[in-house]
Structure 1
């Protein structure tokens, strides 16, 4: 009875040891797979093994045998560029000297780097004959059997390992190609999905938003005709003009969305600095503008400044009605600096829907141009937007 607990403990210890050894071997294999040795290190290792094979058998060898063995070892330095020549240089040492290691490495290289099957079989046959010692003094039947077995091992073993390495490299390349093809398919599927989403968004913008803006424009036109005084007709005229501009930009946006995804088509016409006075005048806000920016700024910078001021004025109209606004722009230390600062609201805030994406879009546009944008409340219950963009390059002025 006492032997049973002891046997159980022994089995548990053996099982635990077996698991630890498996984990250790797996960790070692993962380390080997993830850390490939440098090519020159492997060549040095092979040449050193071939030299050791020749040196260990150099006692009692003739000068010819020693020279042929050393030549066979040195021939391994050519195995990567000239595998056939390297094997051919090891053959004399295999038959006459001591070049078993060198010939085996050269045969492995043939299997790894050559596609000609007849050449591999011929090299394996030469290795078989040279290692078997069939060229030389006669052997007894027992010695012949042993020589044949070892000769087969040393002839087929290196060749099989070389073919295995070559097959593994080809399979790895095919897997890489399959992975690349799948990535291309994913990208194409994503592009198709994006194109469909753009088409759906274009339809919604055209059928819903465009219709509603058109109705606003019609109502504003009617209000302009039936206005009781010039101020009321002026407000209606401004609303109608803004609706017309919005419809034009919306139409261009729909055209861009319906275009094929990934094209470089741009919305036209693009706003520039010269359009800022009209934008500020149509805002209906009490605005003090001191914009001193050259019209030779690059077009992306001019568009970014325009959209920045446009978003700032829109936010003031929505969140701080009748507030005074200060818009300033200048170039300083190689950067375009633009500020939109408003005071506190002087009228009841309009309950207009907002997505919160305006400032996010401005931040993305600014980041693409390598600039920065800051926003935050002011001590007097106002709000401020600050834009900073690198000047980059100036556009060439048109010839007179």
Structure 2
């Protein structure tokens, strides 16, 4: 991985000592006070009871099958909170087992709940138009179960297979001819954890290297867990090859997992982490500025790490194309104001599985794909891995090959 062509011009130092220990308590653990925890458990139990009441009663099956369905809902009520809290469990293989079962239960429950809710809407409309009958009640319950099973199986397959390569040309105004065709491989939201391990990282690295990019960009949420547990699993990222190296910005899950320690570890294996700073690359005699910001919520964990696109570009040469790595799409207005030409983001997972892509706009301005904000182009990756349930439905994972081309804004 050659980085000999880069000249570092940063707004703050990139060097973090390998033994950095200034980890903030908030960044390593997220815990709920006892009362909200019990409230969460009560809500989960009530939602499962709703599913059982609305689905199990009308099913045209023997009572024994309904009892089994009720037992599954009871087990799911317990597995979901255990899966969410599994990172706090140090004992293996118990922690991994709880993660797998708990997160799978979340995926099944999510589809069951949404489809049951939609079924009730349909039945309500049918009742309003006086077309509701016993057959519709029974068949609609069966359809909910079939759709849940199908989306879970297909979603698991989509989540666990290697992300496909998505190729896109992004027009940049006033792009120097030397930078025409400059290629960036974007990896995002891999979420290395108990369910995404070294073998998948090795496959990603092999796929990225085969594309022979000029630069590799990792746009946050690389890990879900601490350095001691996941160090060996992310190690293959040190084998990523490109003309100008691999650049990383932090995501919110790095802060949940101990960002200072992870920044030090990623730098140790040869990756360049950009925390509100930039580098200037020399490519065929033309300059390209590549900047990175800390996560949009970083200040909640460390006030000194507030995400700041303006600080990231401070001191950069004028008249040079500027690319920003920013984990969350909502950094775009600040990136536009700072004068960037391209922002690469992730965070949304494209919604990951139906119907959550329709709720992402409540928090983020863009869900996935290429967008424009004045002169600024924003590309939002659907992510290269997944978070939580091993399930992707309607939002496939991707390894993105971006090609810069001249164009008008």
TM-score category, normalised to shorter length: under 0.3
Higher strand share: 2
Higher relative contact order (CA 8 A, sep 6+): 2
- Computing the radius of gyration from Cα coordinates, the structure with the larger value is 1
TM-score normalised per structure 2:
0.23
TM-score normalised per structure 1:
0.23
